[in-house]
Amino acid sequence: MAQLENIEAIEKRLWNAADTLRANSNYASNEYFMPVMGLIFLRHAYSRYLAVKDGIEANLPRRGGKARPLTKEDFSQKGAIFLRPEAQFDYLVSLPDSAKRDRAIQHAMDTIEEDYDGLKGVLPKGEYSELDNEVIGQLLRTLNPEELRQVSGDIFGRIYEYFLTQFADLKAHDDGEFFTPVSLVQMITNVIELDHGKVLDLACGSCGMFVQSAHFVERMRGKPRVIRPVIEARPWQAGHPAHQESCG
**pTM greater than the 0.85 cutoff:** no
Q: Which among 153, 178, 203 is the end of a domain?
A: 178
**In a shared domain, residues 218 and 113:** no
- The rounded distance, in Å, linking the Cα atoms of 245 and 224 is 7
pLDDT range class, residue 222, cuts 50, 70, 90? low
**In a shared domain, residues 142 and 58:** yes
* Structure letter (DSSP) for residue 152: -
Residues 6+ apart with CB under 8 A from 180: 205, 208
SS3 assignment, position 225: strand
- Bridge partner residues of 228 (DSSP): 244
Full residue range of the structural domain in which residue 171 is found: 2-178
- The rounded distance, in Å, linking the Cα atoms of 218 and 153 is 13
Pick the closest to residue 224 from 202, 245, 200 (CA basis).
245
Residue 232 has a pLDDT of 37
**In a shared domain, residues 84 and 153:** yes
pLDDT at 9 over 90: no
pLDDT range class, residue 177, cuts 50, 70, 90? low
Express each pLDDT in 102-131 by its tens digit: 999 999 999 999 999 888 888 999 999 989
Residue 238 has a pLDDT of 37
CB 47 within 8 A of CB 158: no
Q: Which among 144, 178, 212 is the end of a domain?
A: 178
> Which position has the higher pLDDT, 213 or 240?
213
Residue 122 has a pLDDT of 86
pLDDT range class, residue 233, cuts 50, 70, 90? very low
User: How much of the chain, in percent, has pLDDT values that exceed 70?
Assistant: 72
- Bridge partner residues of 245 (DSSP): 199, 226
- Give the CATH number, domain containing residue 133: 1.20.1260.30
**In a shared domain, residues 133 and 11:** yes
Residue 244 has a pLDDT of 40
**In a shared domain, residues 203 and 173:** no
Pick the closest to residue 39 from 123, 129, 145, 133 (CA basis).
123
Q: Is 52 exposed, middle or buried (0-12, 13-18, 19+ CB in 10 A)?
A: middle
Pick the closest to residue 185 from 177, 176, 194 (CA basis).
194
> Which position has the higher pLDDT, 230 or 90?
90
